[in-house]
Structure 1
Amino acid sequence: MSKNYISLTAANDTEKNNTFVEEKGICRLSDENQEILDDVYVKETTCGFWIFKGSFLQRFANKKAFVFLYGIVGCLFSASYSYNSGTITTLEKRFKIPSRTTGIISVGNDISQLFVSVILSYYAGTKHRPRWMALGLYTVVLFCLMTALLHWLYGAGEDALLLTTEFGARYDENITKEVFEKEQRKSLCHARNRTSAECESLEGSYAPQIILFSAQFISGMGAPLYYTLGISYMDDNIKKSKTPALISISYFLKTLGPAIGYALASVCLKIYISPTLTPTVDNKDPRWLGAWWLGWIILGGIIFIFASLLALFPKQLPRAAARRFQRQISQASTLKQETEIPRSFKDMIKTFKRLTGNATLMLNNFAAIFYFLGYMPYWIFLPKYIETQYRQSASASSLITGTAGLIFSAIGVLLSGLIVSKLRPRARSLAAWNVIVGAISVFGIISYAYLGCLDNTQYASLINNGQYKQISQCNAKCSCDYVKYNPVCSEDGVTTFISACHAGCTEVSFVNDTKIYSQCACIESKNLDDTPTPGYGVTGNCPVDCYYKFYLFVAVVCLLKFTGATGRVSNFLVTVRCVEEKDKAVAMGFGLMMMSLCAFVPSPILFGIIIDKACLVWGKTCSGNGNCWVYDSETLKHTLNFTAAAFVTVGTLFDIGVWYFVKGLKIFDEEIEFELNEL
């Protein structure tokens, strides 16, 4: 690269650029300032560090390479959280964690974000942002590895091992009779009291939950740097006229993340939790535990590689640095005028006061807070919701959650970015569209409450005069308190019992590898002379025909994915344009802190409690309740969806306030741009 700053890209461009300078009346710097400016330019636009730099890397120092890599990293970043959502039900089963505790664990990263995001964004906003982004992503790598560590510390668990041929879920020549009879005693009806010695302990106590929370907490300390610094770096290094299109491309790549995360969860959950063992149940059985830990190792390794590549980008992209320095020259500026203002606590407080006094920014933040409050349960608990409402397997729920709206989200992001770049609408038009998106979201979420399967009535053993209870006359002497959840379907395919014990079954046999329970006191069968006798049951839930409403649910999800995606670019542009240039990074960090405090932390806990309140059957342990096995689907879908819709409604009202105050905001500035060749 030429040392003469005016040429910038090559020595033979000097004449063309000098002509441009003369025509525009741009002032020239003194030789001394020019030399200093050249040194600063080379230092800030050089790719790599230490021995990892050179002309090969320098060719990638352009906006297209950064947008692509930033989008890929965002894809992997969001995949890690969707993978966590896709495997959350399996984690609850494996470590017997109730949903309210899961909600508390999931806010670990939001709690750390609350305390450090705005401070890190303030101090790192003027530093080498790509390296700080990479450092933040390394905390996500640590989060992945710490979560996977649980499997190596605690193994597959007794529940999973007993469902394998190697450890005794069924009786054959390789399994001792004692092991088989032990399993019978746990699942069948016996006219005797089970002692407390037969209750199930919570394996590992609270240690697994503490490790999961710590992993989330660590990721929250660095992960915000990717978002706040990445967006400001991109906006500073791209012409404002091209920002919407390139931002939409990065968002498009990020939308692939949830699909990849859920697809990876689907694949991993189809593999048994201990791949070296042979399970005796398939992945449609509610007792199946998939290899939830496998995806964390894969994601952690890939994120580490791409985060390291991100760190190689320069402090500024060459073309953007050229435009910025030339703007100084055109204003007869010197290098001293461009030096960074020292960061201090006093200046940070002034910055916060300036941001809180910005009505447009604060209303936009409050709108985002209530949107996140309403959408959070679907991001975290949607696989569980699909499992409970539509009777899908954990693997199928993860796959559907990740892929159903992918195409529509991608189309929405790309289409909105291209339209905004082409038409360059006013700020009020962008804000008005956000109001429309909010209204569509409210009606869509309300419709969820009317799309579901009425399958609670099949649990006849739970329902008695409108009250839910597990014990009835036919199984009153079976002592089923500590029996594990193992659903059994009656021979007529209508009634589901939560276990063979609750069905009053006293015998078990295998027919073509299918477990058949017989002599079931709660299942009535009739002989040829119509004399009632104890019937039989088959392991598993009775089938429920719910495909029509399920397909309608998926259609509404796709619609909301599309409309929500079209509002991302407009929301971003309003956020970064309503503040001063120097406040962009800290404004996003400040907004993230507000959302962590008011939405990311309380929402999972609140909706975790709502989900637990709808529980009908808790797994009973020595110390109390474990995870929930059966939910009241009617209570769950009404309470959860109407609460979420109320939050989104409030967010839409705040968006109306943004529309009012955003009048006169300039989204696309006219600026002097150099016509330089692509680097």
Structure 2
Amino acid sequence: MHFLALGQDPKLMEAQGCLHTIGGIGPIFGYSLGSLCASLYVDIGLVNQDSVTITPQDSRWVGAWWLGYVVSGLLTLLAALPLWFLPKSLPENPQTSKAYHPSNEHKQTLSITEIAKDFWPSIKHLFTSGIYILHLICSVLAFNAFVISITYTPKYLEQQFGQSASKTNFLIGVMSIPPLVLGMFLSGWIMKRFKLGLLGSARLMFFTSVTSLVCIIPYFALSCENIDVAGITVPYQRTFEVQDVSHDLLTSCNAGCPDFLWDPVCGQNGVTYISPCHAGCNSTLGTRQNMTFHGCTCIQSWGLTSGNSSAVLGQCSRESSCTKMFYIYLALQSLAFFVYCLGTVPFFLISLRIVDPMLKSLSMGIFLLVLRVFGGIPAPICFGALIDTTCLKWGQNKSGERGACRMYDIETFRYLFLGLVSSLQAFSYTLLWIFTTQIKKKVQYDEKMSKDIELQYPMLRDPEQENNIK
């Protein structure tokens, strides 16, 4: 009967909702700070910002990533100061302490050997519980999808919709985090208002998870095409198709240019060239970001007969519809986050209710350890390697080794990113459905056992326990 004996404290549910809500405020500040840092060039104080010819939209732009660590580190130190003034132990109510712990008067300090004596039997008890293991696997798969989404969504939006890192981080914080926080708060309120038991919590978590998965299906239709880059996505001439990208960077109009350059310019024909040299330009006008290039012979090969074919610094802009789809994507993401977070409090309460009350602390420790090790570490590493396979143009560092990716095949990137995340979620929610059915069977069994005991021993009936099976 211990499976249903934990009860459901409304104050605990409300506290869980408020706790997760307050914890969600931090990412708003974090994304805002990241947006500010990404808009500043990395070498603050060492380089004249006016002399920088690239913009935050350029793939070579490196924001002041280190500044975020400095600011957050100082704020962490300030937050730690009040903790120094806390007492060594909190005062206890003598009456409450004796009522719940009558043996406190004769309390003895246990040795490490005595504490560790029951450790392995407790571990064995946890890992032989099928419901606990099933819940653990579901959580690991869902957490993998969550970590991939959180880690690579900014990069995905930058590549897919041509947005800068600064703008992307800011809008993610402004549009996605508030719905997430609201969902966490309402999650605790729903649990308190409807007094959901173990089965009701599992059903709520399954419903919110599947609904959030449905919300991300339209992501696949929100896409932009790769920009036209001569020698990479389009040929230098209009008369043939690109067969081998690595051999099409050089042609007769730009013979002799080093193929590792990446200093993109936009030709007046609407095609991006990876450098002025690759556009065949032979003269310049203006300085810094206002610099223009003229006499570009490769641009003339596209049918422009003007003898002064020109190009300007930077990649050519994407179609205007990309910006519109970018905001639609963020709106759908906000809706998906809100719906998914309605199951936050049930998720944590279920983790406590499916184990023996004496093993709650150990089960949560094992649960969080497995979640971080198998969900938080391998997912970003493996998916980062998969992203590298979609690179169309690699940069080169000063030592001649491969550097950062300058351009991705965004169509392959889209299907890889969205397909992997949605597949992990779908597999996780399938197991969650099986988990919910097992919970239902267990609740029905315990309910039957409870009624049998009540018939034999009517005086043992506990009215509060009936709420746990709803």
Q: Is TM more than 0.5 here? A: yes
Q: What residue in structure 1 maps to residue 27 of structure 2?
A: 258
Give 1:288's match in structure 2, choosing from 61, 83, 99: 61
Contiguous gaps of at least 5 residues in structure 1: 1-235, 672-679
Q: What residue in structure 2 maps to residue 488 of structure 1?
A: 265
Aligned-partner Cα distance in 2 for 1:319–1:630: 62
Q: What residue in structure 1 maps to residue 199 of structure 2?
A: 428
CA contact (8 A) 1:618 1:630 kept: yes
Give 1:536's match in structure 2, choosing from 304, 307, 310: 310
Amino acid at match of 1:439: V
Q: What residue in structure 2 maps to residue 302 of structure 1?
A: 75
Q: What residue in structure 1 maps to residue 188 of structure 2?
A: 417
- Is it true that 1:459 corresponds to 2:229 in the alignment? yes
Q: What residue in structure 2 maps to residue 99 of structure 1?
A: none
- Counterparts in 2 of 1:25-424, with a 5 A limit? 240-276=9-45, 277-279=47-49, 280=51, 281=53, 282-310=55-83, 313=86, 318=91, 323-329=96-102, 333=103, 335-336=105-106, 342=112, 344-424=115-195
- Counterparts in 2 of 1:562-601, with a 5 A limit? 562-601=338-377
Taking a change above 3 Å as real, the CA distance of residues 586 and 541 of structure 1, as seen in their structure-2 partners, is same
Deviations 1:43-73 (A, max 9, x none): xxxxxxxxxxxxxxxxxxxxxxxxxxxxxxx
Amino acid at match of 1:630: M
Shift of 1:561: 0.9
Q: Aligned residues, how many?
A: 426
Amino acid at match of 1:296: Y
Shift of 1:375: 2.0
CA contact (8 A) 2:250 2:257 kept: no
Taking a change above 3 Å as real, the CA distance of residues 322 and 647 of structure 1, as seen in their structure-2 partners, is farther
Taking a change above 3 Å as real, the CA distance of residues 347 and 460 of structure 1, as seen in their structure-2 partners, is same
Deviations 1:204-230 (A, max 9, x none): xxxxxxxxxxxxxxxxxxxxxxxxxxx
Taking a change above 3 Å as real, the CA distance of residues 265 and 348 of structure 1, as seen in their structure-2 partners, is same
* Percentage of identical aligned residues: 26
Shift of 1:570: 0.4
Give 2:251's match in structure 1, choosing from 473, 482, 506: 473
Give 2:422's match in structure 1, choosing from 621, 645, 650: 645
Shift of 1:389: 0.5
CA contact (8 A) 1:523 1:534 kept: no
Deviations 1:172-213 (A, max 9, x none): xxxxxxxxxxxxxxxxxxxxxxxxxxxxxxxxxxxxxxxxxx
CA contact (8 A) 1:369 1:598 kept: yes
CA contact (8 A) 2:254 2:298 kept: no
Normalising by the residue count of structure 2, what TM-score does the alignment of the two structures yield? 0.82
What is the SS of the residue equivalent to 2:257? coil
CA contact (8 A) 2:17 2:345 kept: yes
Q: What residue in structure 2 maps to residue 547 of structure 1?
A: 323
CA contact (8 A) 2:149 2:421 kept: no
Aligned-partner Cα distance in 2 for 1:526–1:612: 31
Shift of 1:246: 1.1
Shift of 1:567: 1.0
Aligned-partner Cα distance in 1 for 2:149–2:130: 30
Aligned-partner Cα distance in 1 for 2:395–2:373: 33
Amino acid at match of 2:297: A
Taking a change above 3 Å as real, the CA distance of residues 324 and 670 of structure 1, as seen in their structure-2 partners, is farther
Aligned-partner Cα distance in 2 for 1:641–1:318: 52
CA contact (8 A) 1:259 1:406 kept: yes
Aligned-partner Cα distance in 1 for 2:316–2:28: 30
Shift of 1:466: 4.7
Aligned-partner Cα distance in 2 for 1:338–1:255: 41
CA contact (8 A) 2:198 2:353 kept: no
Taking a change above 3 Å as real, the CA distance of residues 514 and 414 of structure 1, as seen in their structure-2 partners, is same
Aligned-partner Cα distance in 1 for 2:463–2:131: 18
Shift of 1:435: 1.4
Normalising by the residue count of structure 1, what TM-score does the alignment of the two structures yield? 0.58
CA contact (8 A) 2:250 2:259 kept: no
Amino acid at match of 1:391: G
Aligned-partner Cα distance in 1 for 2:209–2:192: 22
Amino acid at match of 1:541: Q
CA contact (8 A) 1:524 1:535 kept: yes
What is the SS of the residue equivalent to 2:309? strand
CA RMSD of aligned residues (A): 3.0
Deviations 1:501-538 (A, max 9, x none): 222223222169512122222212899xx745351111
Taking a change above 3 Å as real, the CA distance of residues 304 and 537 of structure 1, as seen in their structure-2 partners, is same
Taking a change above 3 Å as real, the CA distance of residues 303 and 241 of structure 1, as seen in their structure-2 partners, is same
CA contact (8 A) 2:98 2:104 kept: no
Deviations 1:422-464 (A, max 9, x none): 22112111111221222223333443222121134x2233134
What is the SS of the residue equivalent to 2:298? strand
Shift of 1:251: 0.6
Amino acid at match of 1:300: G
CA contact (8 A) 1:520 1:536 kept: yes
Aligned-partner Cα distance in 2 for 1:592–1:418: 25
Taking a change above 3 Å as real, the CA distance of residues 600 and 240 of structure 1, as seen in their structure-2 partners, is same
Aligned-partner Cα distance in 2 for 1:595–1:322: 39
What is the SS of the residue equivalent to 2:256? coil
- Is it true that 1:437 corresponds to 2:214 in the alignment? no
CA contact (8 A) 2:268 2:309 kept: yes
Deviations 1:67-102 (A, max 9, x none): xxxxxxxxxxxxxxxxxxxxxxxxxxxxxxxxxxxx
- Higher deviation after alignment, 276-285 or 250-259: 276-285
Aligned-partner Cα distance in 2 for 1:557–1:551: 10
Contiguous gaps of at least 5 residues in structure 2: 1-5, 236-240, 448-461, 466-470
- Is it true that 1:603 corresponds to 2:379 in the alignment? yes
Amino acid at match of 1:366: I
- Counterparts in 2 of 1:621-636, with a 5 A limit? 621=397, 622-636=399-413
